[in-house]
Structure 1
Amino acid sequence: NLAVFGVLAALGAIELWQVLFMTFIAGSARAMYLPVRQSYAYDIVGAENVVAGLGLLTIGMRAGQLIGALVAGSVMQRLGTDVALFVLASLHGITFLIVSRLRSIPTETQVNPVPILENLREYVQEMRHNRTLLMLIVVTAAVEVLGFSFATILPELATERLGVGAEGLGVIHAIRAAGGFAAGVALAGTRNFRRRGLTYLFVIYAFGLGLIAVGAAPNFVTILAAVLAVAALASASDVLTQSMMQLSVPDRLRGRAMGAWVFAIGAAPLGHLEMGALAASVGVGPALGINGVALVLIGVLTTIVAPGLRKL
């Protein structure tokens, strides 16, 4: 896809419909790539170290986003868009060669290919009988809508409330990236991580309180501290839900569990719309406070109705 983009850019033949079509293809491929990546990480490190493995994935993703943005921007400015796209395509090719040499740890799981409709039917049955999995899917979607949507109003927070402009917004985003990276480092250092469910409940509560803190922070420095904490909690939430969803189902369903995780985080656009509407109606600070309180209530509800979650 990137190589095709590069060829079209070199020929000067890029049109809007082509960009939209190839973006759709890339998005569809990403929706398949994410479940495979997360379940394969489990295969490589095993159940006992799944949190550490997914933490390492988070580190790699954050570092890749930072380095990739710098490299692509520099190459694009100096050599043109087409060359930048070819560089990115080449890096993907190198990554493919590296991944193709990885080996997972041996398991007793047998692979029995079945038709797609049978796959879906089997997974729906699992969700009907596995209350913990269903609750994880619902809570993941709720946290995505109420928590991750805070990024939507960061530009308004920087320009309207703080008056720091584009440079200040860049600092806020850098701190946000640092928070996610720090959470990845902390989780990657764990071994035989226990009490994932209890930790996740703590993360939900702290996430909600962090949003309230961002909304109430009186100055730039305190907002940076609150954003750092919220970003770290958001990253930890992703890693913990990915690991617990895989641990809550039989091995043969782990890939489908990660597909359900991708489906759950697909609720993100609803959160952006909700946060934007709230901010327009009541202001940035109150909007963050409302979502923060709602997240805390989600944590309370989850604690009450999903006692099995605490055992993961």
Structure 2
Amino acid sequence: MAKRDPYAALRIKEFNIFLFVRFLLVFGWSMQFIVIEWEVYSITKDPLSLGIIGLMEIIPAFSMALFAGHIVDQKEKRNLLAICTAAFSLISLGLFFLTSDAITGHWSTNSTLYSIYALVFFGGFLRSFFGPTIFSLVALLVPKKIYHNAATWSTSTWKTATVSGALFGGFFISWIGVDKTLCLVFVLVVLSFIFLFQIKKKPILNTKIGEPIMQSLKVGVLFVFQNKAILGALTLDMIAVLFGGTVAILSVFAQDILKVGPEGFGILNASISMGSIVTMLLTTYIPINRNTGKKMLISVFIFGLSMIAFGLSSIFWVSVLALFISGAADGISMVIRQTILQLKTPDEMRGRVSSVNSMFVGSSNELGAFESGLAAKLIGPVAAVVFGGTMTLVTVVATAALNPTIRNLDLTADIEESEKE
């Protein structure tokens, strides 16, 4: 077998442009997310309102996911991503106006709050198209033999953007205010839209253009549920994310428990993704192909333990360390899941399989946010986080005992076969 090149995907110009575009989009989205969470909690002082943000996003994202996957498999990917990016810019512009003095000085609190929820709802609808489009586009930019390397760099870029967006979002709230920060997000999204056209239009690999939508959706769903490796990885990650949605209530910890202000809030958010970045960059040098399933189970177990540690901590640096470890463990799990999906999904079904992935994992982020917000209101934020971490541990143990496919999963043969093509 040829020597592994950790920079293989980075040697392709269009893939580098794609990474830059993705960085700008995710950086802006991440910054927008924590700014809105900060603003909503500052307005309401009710942790349930943070859960409602998640609920407003999950309803359209989940309900539209399969339909979005069908559309992605039928359409040209570059232009579809451009349409999504343009729509995202309108959301950012709307949030900027809603938090500006011109609106806050004349609208009631409820009017502003409900309008924010409405734009978040539209963002959830839009996100159902973003995930499948990006996942499908990656496979059109690099040859199959380096899919696993491209998946690692793409995921690392996403996490890098998440960490820097979260970090700068917290500081920008303090430096220039909520409304100007959201205006900056708008500028970044417009910039990503411009650079996106440096990527050429790509061929549509689906040979069944015009296939009836119900038949198309059925084929996509059946593929996922019949592939035990994909189904097991998605299920494990879904439940872990569902009960580990601590990020949704970090503003409660920052303001009321740790009392560290917007700067500390940014650091708490950033520490999670910083841990992910470190481990994902390491996986470009240290392969995860051997004993893949066991590595995934161990990483999710460590994630659960770190969540419990964060919930019990009242010391800022301990909380930051716990979140860093949780991000590191989550990064390994994420790279493994994306590698499984890239290697085991046929080109013509990438949109639909990615949509099912978004229903399992992506939507569970928002459902987890609602669960965390509701639990924090009912039993308090500390108990809510500890409960979520404990449920994650229970899930890992149950999966290891009941799912031998995941427990014994090894991707060595899959990666070696892809490298021969």
TM-score by length of 1: 0.77
Task: Choose from 164, 167, 190 the match for 2:263.
Answer: 167
State the partner residue of 2:187. Answer: 87
Q: Unaligned 5+ residue runs, structure 2?
A: 1-86, 104-110, 412-421
State the partner residue of 1:96. Answer: 196
Q: CA deviation at 1:34?
A: 1.2
Task: Choose from 317, 325, 336 the match for 1:221.
Answer: 317
SS of match in other structure, 1:111: coil
Report Cα offsets for 1:27-73 as digits up to 9, x if no partner: 433322212212332454455644432232233234445369969x6
Contact preservation (8 Å) 2:206, 2:349 = no
Question: Is 1:36 the equivalent of 2:133?
Answer: yes
State the partner residue of 1:258. Answer: 354
The residue type equivalent to 1:184 in the other structure is M
Give the distance between the partners of 1:165 and 1:110, measured in 2 at CA.
50
SS of match in other structure, 1:134: helix
Q: CA deviation at 1:225?
A: 0.8
Report Cα offsets for 1:196-251 as digits up to 9, x if no partner: 32221111111111112212335222111111111222333333222223434444
Give the distance between the partners of 1:223 and 1:68, measured in 2 at CA.
16
State the partner residue of 2:300. Answer: 204
State the partner residue of 2:279. Answer: 183
State the partner residue of 1:293. Answer: 390
Of 257-266 and 53-62, more deviation after overlay is shown by 53-62
Are residues 67 and 303 of structure 1, via their aligned partners in 2, closer, same or farther at CA, if it must alter by over 3 Å? closer
Task: Choose from 299, 315, 335 the match for 1:239.
Answer: 335
Of 45-54 and 205-214, more deviation after overlay is shown by 45-54
The residue type equivalent to 1:99 in the other structure is I
Of 220-229 and 195-204, more deviation after overlay is shown by 195-204
State the partner residue of 1:272. Answer: 369
Q: Unaligned 5+ residue runs, structure 1?
A: none
Give the distance between the partners of 1:169 and 1:68, measured in 2 at CA.
9
Report Cα offsets for 1:98-120 as digits up to 9, x if no partner: 3327x89xxxx873433322211
Report Cα offsets for 1:107-150 as digits up to 9, x if no partner: xx873433322211212332443333333333232122112x11
Task: Choose from 32, 38, 52 the match for 2:149.
Answer: 52
State the partner residue of 1:145. Answer: 242
Are residues 83 and 220 of structure 1, via their aligned partners in 2, closer, same or farther at CA, if it must alter by over 3 Å? closer
Give the distance between the partners of 1:18 and 1:283, measured in 2 at CA.
27
TM-score by length of 2: 0.60
Give the distance between the partners of 1:218 and 1:70, measured in 2 at CA.
24
Give the distance between the partners of 1:87 and 1:167, measured in 2 at CA.
23
RMSD: 3.9
Give the distance between the partners of 1:85 and 1:176, measured in 2 at CA.
21
The residue type equivalent to 2:279 in the other structure is A
Give the distance between the partners of 2:238 and 2:387, measured in 1 at CA.
17
Contact preservation (8 Å) 2:131, 2:354 = yes
